[in-house]
Structure 1
Amino acid sequence: MSSFDTDVPVLLLRLDTNPFHHGTLGAVRSLGRAGIEVHAVVASARGPVGRSRYLHRMYELPPGPVAHGPLLDFLRTVSEGIGRPAVLIPLDDRGAIAAARLAGRLLGRYLLPAQPADLPERLADKAELALLCRELGLPHPATAVPADAQQAADAAEELGLPLVAKWSRPWLLPPSAGLRSTTLVRTRDDARRLYGLTERAGSALLLQRRLAGGPDTDWFFHGCFTRGGACLIGGSGRKERAWPRGTGLTAVGRWLPNPQVERAALRLAGHLDYRGILDLDFRRDAHGRYHLLDFNPRPGAQFRLFTDPSSGLDVVRALHLDLTGRTVPFARGAPGRLFRAENYALLSAVATAFAERPAARPPGTARARRQGVERAWFAADDPLPFLAMTGSWLHSGLRKGAHRGRTTPPDSAALPSRPEPAQPLGAPQRP
């Protein structure tokens, strides 16, 4: 294993307001255990991540949306506090887009992959991703971008109802607008109403044919790339459980080789000459084709699933080695390994137990036990984040339960009067 340049610290950048992002904790622990000084910029310093023994210092963003100009000034101030150049690793799409746009003005302060300033923004844009897939011949759900409300209604009927509607640039959604990044559209009128919110959303509305979910349909690829789109480390995995149940983020994921997913990811990265970390979401259709649904130009929350069991190499360690001029060693795979986000896995398991008959043990369970389980929160050498997360979740759950008990009307099971929220792209959808 190559030795790390521990004189070069890391600054983790997360602009999203979720204080329970376990991917941030995974990056803190991975880099800190390698002897690297870890700093983090977050929207709220009150979350469990701040309890990690491996975090050197945390910086809290000013409240409210942060434009690129103020963020540039903030990052320069943080750089002065760190006192030497640092590897900058964004952990959400907004952060990745901002870091790429500001990279030229951060030279000498931060180390970032050399790539076009607009590339992360284009890849995170759902409309641009659909065009890229068409250009490369990669499977992608049929997608329409209506120019007016009538076109939205007509496209909804043509694509087939129900369908998925999403905003092309979800990071632009104002928190106060009450809009979700994706919505399940059931009628032509739903499509019309959504189009009427385009100005408030800040980006174009996309209508996309819905691919049915189910067992073995949702897959992901995580990787780190360098010059020429060469893969330093990467792997494909399958979503075993999600929260909310049947939707949302990966509660339990399994490392499983999938040649179709891996070929698509490598082809895409090579075409783009992509450099840095990416997280791709795929869905398998009824014909066995894997459709690319989402391109996240940063680490995914479950990136620690893909860790070399002997060296500990993962995507954030590989990026640090590459940007500091060190050799990135060959990474051995560990197919069958599991990733479990304890809080979401528990909620998903409880919901499934009430909604379904007990399922048979998934294939590969014994193999996963041999390969080990990567837990999002618990670590024997760093227990405080797990304890803080557990306490916060219990407190939040009791508070929400009491609030719903006071405010939920008896007829709350009635059909919704507006489009039903769906899940982030790449997650299973409700039948």
Structure 2
Amino acid sequence: MSSFDTEVPVLLFRLGPDPFHRGALGAVRSLGRAGIEVHAVVESPRGPVGRCRHLHRAHALPPAGPLAPAAPLEFLRDLSDRIGRPAVLLPMDDRAAIAAARLAGRLLGRYLLPAQPADLPERLLDRAQLARLCQELNLSHPATAVATSAAQAADAARELGLPLLAKWSRPWLPAPSAGPRSTTVVRSRDDARRLYEVAAGAGSALLLQRRLPGGPDADWFFHGCFARGGACLTGGAGRAARAWPPRTGRTATGRWLPNAPVERAALRLAGHLGYRGILDLDFRRDAHGHYHLLDVTPRPGARSRLVTDPSSGLDVVRALHLDLTGRAVPGVRRPPATLSDEPSHQSAVAGPAPPPGAPHRP
């Protein structure tokens, strides 16, 4: 295993509240166990991340409410002054990923970030733009219509088939109180009309999307870390075993398993974009065996610790730290090649349990 530059700390950067952010907890454990000084933005020092013995220091989340464009920059500069030396900046929610990319040029000398276009995270998180990107790359994606009027929303519901899914194209923006917060099931043309009528206050377009039924072995993901030009440093496909809330929420447990179609789609997307950094992709397999790309998250997700080389401990957050600090990233031992084999790595998403005899802290 390559040695880490432990003189370079990490800041886990968030702009939205989530007291049980499992991805952040997994990142703190992974980096802290590697001897890296970890700082994190948290709601409360009493939460799971704030109480983790591997966290060097917790920093308070910015005040609630819309942030002015300059506010994230001022916040990050203040945190940099507290840390006292350049740190790897690791966004842990969508708003933070967008802000970090936009501000990267103004954070030079304070933070280490992957070099990428300033608008790339926002483009990937925008579901309408993702649908167009999948069409451009010939990647399977559920049939999607952007509603431009109440009548067109009703027509799309008829053409796509009921029930279908309604989503906001820019899910990081606050949704109107009368509409779905992220995704909802539309069961009639009248439902589609009503949702369009509240869409004006959402700040993003209403999308209507063909619903792909779930089921055993239907939900897959790809989690990876990419170097300059979209070269994959580490990563792989996996199957979501359980979610919370059931069937609709975040992955609670999963398996790191090879899946050639999922991996080809992920590598094609990253290569086309010349992506550098961490990507978390969600797929769903349809009744014909096609894997549809549902969402792209340009940051670590809750599943980041599932794709971990058991021999070296390398995962996506460790690989990113090695890459940004100029260290070599070792090769990864892949899991078994067949789905019928026992998984090489299976766990809850927050990471492995502490070693025997360790204090009972997260």
TM over 0.5, shorter chain = yes
Aligned to 2:53: 53
Task: Give the distance between the partners of 1:177 and 1:320, measured in 2 at CA.
Answer: 42
CA-based RMSD: 1.8
Give the stretch that moved more between structures: 285-294 or 325-334: 325-334
Aligned to 2:263: 262
Task: Give the distance between the partners of 2:26 and 2:90, measured in 1 at CA.
Answer: 13
How much does 1:228 deviate? 1.3
Task: Give the distance between the partners of 1:371 and 1:69, measured in 2 at CA.
Answer: 42
Aligned to 1:376: 350
Q: Is the 8 A contact 2:304 2:349 kept in 1?
A: no
Deviations 1:12-59 (A, max 9, x none): 012231100111111001001111100011344441111111101111
Q: Is the 8 A contact 2:212 2:286 kept in 1?
A: yes
Q: Does 2:28 match 1:28? A: yes
Aligned to 1:40: 40
Ranges of 4+ aligned residues in structure 1 off by more than 2 Å:
42-46, 65-68, 174-179, 333-336, 370-383
How much does 1:67 deviate? 3.6
Q: Alpha carbons of 1:154 and 1:249: their partners in 2 closer, same or farther (altered >3 Å)? A: same
State how 1:161-310 maps to structure 2 within 5 Å. Answer: 161-174=162-175, 179-310=180-311
> In the alignment, residue 379 of structure 1 is paired with which amino acid?
P
Aligned residues: 357
Task: Give the distance between the partners of 2:100 and 2:51, measured in 1 at CA.
Answer: 26
Aligned to 2:7: 7
User: 1:294 aligns to what SS in structure 2?
Assistant: strand
Aligned to 2:17: 17
How much does 1:104 deviate? 0.9
Q: Alpha carbons of 1:375 and 1:243: their partners in 2 closer, same or farther (altered >3 Å)? A: closer
Task: Give the distance between the partners of 1:159 and 1:75, measured in 2 at CA.
Answer: 44
Q: Is the 8 A contact 2:15 2:62 kept in 1?
A: no
How much does 1:245 deviate? 1.6
Larger Rg: 1
Task: Give the distance between the partners of 2:170 and 2:359, measured in 1 at CA.
Answer: 36
How much does 1:375 deviate? 6.0
Task: Give the distance between the partners of 1:218 and 1:262, measured in 2 at CA.
Answer: 14
Task: Give the distance between the partners of 1:262 and 1:28, measured in 2 at CA.
Answer: 27
How much does 1:175 deviate? 8.1
Deviations 1:277-302 (A, max 9, x none): 00000011111110000000001101
Q: Is the 8 A contact 2:284 2:294 kept in 1?
A: yes
Q: Is the 8 A contact 2:253 2:348 kept in 1?
A: no
Q: Is the 8 A contact 1:14 1:43 kept in 2?
A: no
Give the number of the structure whose residues are more often helix, by fraction. Answer: 1
> In the alignment, residue 16 of structure 1 is paired with which amino acid?
G
> In the alignment, residue 360 of structure 2 is paired with which amino acid?
P
> In the alignment, residue 108 of structure 1 is paired with which amino acid?
G
Q: Is the 8 A contact 1:307 1:333 kept in 2?
A: no
Q: Alpha carbons of 1:163 and 1:176: their partners in 2 closer, same or farther (altered >3 Å)? A: closer
Q: TM-score, normalised by structure 2?
A: 0.94
Counting aligned pairs with the same residue, the percent is 73
Give the stretch that moved more between structures: 272-281 or 59-68: 59-68
State how 1:45-194 maps to structure 2 within 5 Å. Answer: 45-65=45-65, 66-174=67-175, 179-194=180-195
Task: Give the distance between the partners of 1:273 and 1:266, measured in 2 at CA.
Answer: 10
How much does 1:334 deviate? 3.2
Q: Is the 8 A contact 1:10 1:37 kept in 2?
A: yes
Task: Give the distance between the partners of 2:347 and 2:144, measured in 1 at CA.
Answer: 37
Structure 2: which 5+ runs fail to align? none
Deviations 1:372-392 (A, max 9, x none): 64562642446322xxxxxxx
> In the alignment, residue 4 of structure 2 is paired with which amino acid?
F
User: 1:195 aligns to what SS in structure 2?
Assistant: helix
Q: Is the 8 A contact 2:176 2:199 kept in 1?
A: no
User: 1:172 aligns to what SS in structure 2?
Assistant: coil
Q: Is the 8 A contact 1:179 1:201 kept in 2?
A: no
Structure 1: which 5+ runs fail to align? 337-361, 386-431
